[in-house]
Each structure stands twice: as C-alpha cells, then as structure tokens.
Amino acid sequence: MNDSPSKWTLAQKRERHFYETRAASHEGRNEVYAEFHAPFWKAILNRLTELDFRDDGYYVDVGCGPNPIVAFVEHGNRIGVDPLMPFYQENFVLPEAFQPFEGTIEELTPIKDGQADVIFSMNNIDHIQNLDQAIATLRRKLRDDGFLVISVNVVGNPIAKLMAKAIDIYRVVDPTHTYHFHSPQEVRNRLAEHFDLVRYECIEQLSEEMQTRKNERDKQVKTLKGLVRQGLKFVKNDLILREKLHLFLFKPKSG
Ligand SMILES: C[S@@+](CC[C@H](N)C(=O)[O-])C[C@H]1O[C@@H](n2cnc3c(N)ncnc32)[C@H](O)[C@@H]1O
C-alpha cells in the first residue's frame, strides 16, 4: 500500500514510457489500437452476464488507457477517463465508440454523482495514487443499483508477500505499480466499506492467450532490447511475483 504522490509520479512516468514503446511499434498501422485486444475484452464482457447494457445507460471505463473495454459495450453512453488521455489521443488511434476525458479515479470529475450504471477499472487500481479516496469516489459516482467491475493482478508468491511486510521490495522489483494485492480476499477487504462482492474468478488463462497474441505480433520486430525486456519480465512475473489476473464484480452496499 502506498499513497505517496512521488511514487505515483514515477509509476506514471514508466507507464507513459511503456505506451510510448507500444505507440512506436504500432506506428504506421493506422488502426484502432484497442481492436487488437477485442477478443480479450469481449471474453470478459461475455462472462459478466449480470450486466445489462441500455441505450440510455452510462458506462464508464476509468484508467482505460488507449485500450478501453467500454468501446466494446454495444449500447449507451460510453466514457473513458485517464490521467494520460491527452497523450493517448495524440499517439494512438482511439475507438470512436467512446468519449475520452482526462481525469483520475480519485476525482472522476467527468461523471456526476449517482450517474454511472457500470464502472470498469481494468488493470488500474494497482496504478493509482490513493485507493481509499478512489473507492469512496467510485461509490459516489455509481447508481445504487450499479455495478463495479475490477480486473487486477494478485501476487501469488507467498515469499514476496512476507518480504513486503518487512521491506518495500516492490519499489525495486515493480515500481510501475503503486499497490500490490496478495489475495482476492485482500481486494475484497479493501472495498468492503462501500461494496459487496458479487463474485470473482481468476482470468489468468485469458490474459495468457492475449499475451500469446502479442508475442506472435511482436515476433517480426524483435530487437536485443526487446529480448532483454522480455527476460526481465519473466524474472519479475514468473519467478518473483507470480501474478495472476483476477476479475471482480462488486455492487454498492445497500443502506
Ligand atoms: C495498465 S494501464 C491499463 C489500461 C487499460 N485499462 C487496459 O487494461 O489495457 C493503467 C492505466 O491506469 C491509469 N492510471 C494511473 N493512475 C490513475 C489514476 N489515479 N486514476 C485513473 N487512472 C489512472 C494509467 O494512466 C494507465 O492508463
């Protein structure tokens, strides 16, 4: 857990760098960046059978990056919010099916209180500045009968969890993320003041299928730097953290 702005600033610098690299390898293709991820997002939306999308509904994707899941929702007002939005607008072809806004999950200013039917926060709550503030804001912006969808990595290595209790290993091993969760229960507990868990599932297999697609695509542009990056990623993800992606569906607490 870390609410320090300097940690967030550093994490966002790295995030921007990551997307600069993605933009450079995508340059010239002149295609909507999010389209490549369509099978991943559609598989997730298909799993969320509790959600019912209406033409007059408000569907918000916070921390959407250049790759909003909400663009694959077929009805309603589809809105994406991200602090790096001007950078994404400048460097990527974004889908036309959503309205992009610059903003943060802690404030969510483009959305009125009680306006959102569904808020998506995909691969996002471990990148933000202040989780407690974000959770209170998400609750305020959602309708009482709305839904919150979260996907987030959960660190699976018990040694990483033990070490993190003693020292801030993540500052060294994984400075791109401002928060780390060590079990689905921990995610549930962090939200428990304002949200009830409807259900969760591990969607690591979907994530791996997406990674295979990315690896296939990137084969042609393999450089030494790319190989080193892939090696470091293996050490971080598969040896040190052993993260797995989980999908959570929450409802606002009643009363
Ligand atoms: C890993 S990307 C996820 C992008 C997209 N949702 C996806 O799954 O491909 C994390 C995103 O969270 C955004 N982010 C970081 N801090 C944030 C904050 N305080 N509020 C909202 N979004 C934030 C970053 O700018 C980045 O676009």
pLDDT score for 27: 72
In a structure prediction context, what are the per-residue pLDDT tens digits for the chain, which is 255 residues long? 455 669 999 999 999 999 998 898 877 678 999 999 999 999 999 999 999 999 999 999 999 999 999 999 999 999 999 999 999 999 999 999 999 999 999 999 999 999 999 999 999 999 999 999 999 999 999 999 999 999 999 998 888 888 887 788 888 888 899 999 999 999 999 999 999 999 999 999 999 999 888 888 776 556 777 788 778 888 888 888 899 999 999 999 987
Q: Whose CA is nearest to atom 4 of ligand 1?
A: 65
CB-based contact 37:210 (threshold 8 Å): yes
CATH number at residue 158: 3.40.50.150
Instruction: Indicate the number of domains in the chain.
Output: 1
What spacing in Å lies between the alpha carbon of 52 and ligand 1's midpoint? 25
Of 170, 193, 172, 196, give the one whose Cα is nearest residue 182.
170
In angstroms, the CA 99 to CA 81 distance is 9
| Segments forming the whole domain that contains residue 161 | 5-252
pLDDT score for 91: 95
The 3-state DSSP class for residue 238 equals helix
Mutate-to-test residue for ligand 1 from 14, 72, 82, highest number of ligand atoms within 8 A of CB = 82
Burial grade of 212 (CB within 10 A; 0-12, 13-18, 19 or more): exposed
pLDDT score for 3: 54
pLDDT score for 4: 61
Q: What are phi and psi of 178, to 5 degrees?
A: -90, -20
In angstroms, the CA 244 to CA 237 distance is 9
Q: Whose CA is nearest to atom 20 of ligand 1?
A: 104
CB-based contact 92:26 (threshold 8 Å): yes
Instruction: Report the pocket of ligand 1 as residue ranges, CB < 6 Å.
Output: 12, 15, 62-65, 67, 82-84, 104-106, 122-124, 127-129
* Nearest atom (ligand 1) to Cα of 151: 8
In angstroms, the CA 6 to CA 22 distance is 24
Helices (H), 27-130: 38-47, 85-91
pLDDT score for 164: 80
Of 45, 109, 53, 47, give the one whose Cα is nearest residue 78.
53
CA distances 126 to 25, 55, 247, Å, are 25, 31, 14
Mutate-to-test residue for ligand 1 from 104, 124, 178, highest number of ligand atoms within 8 A of CB = 124
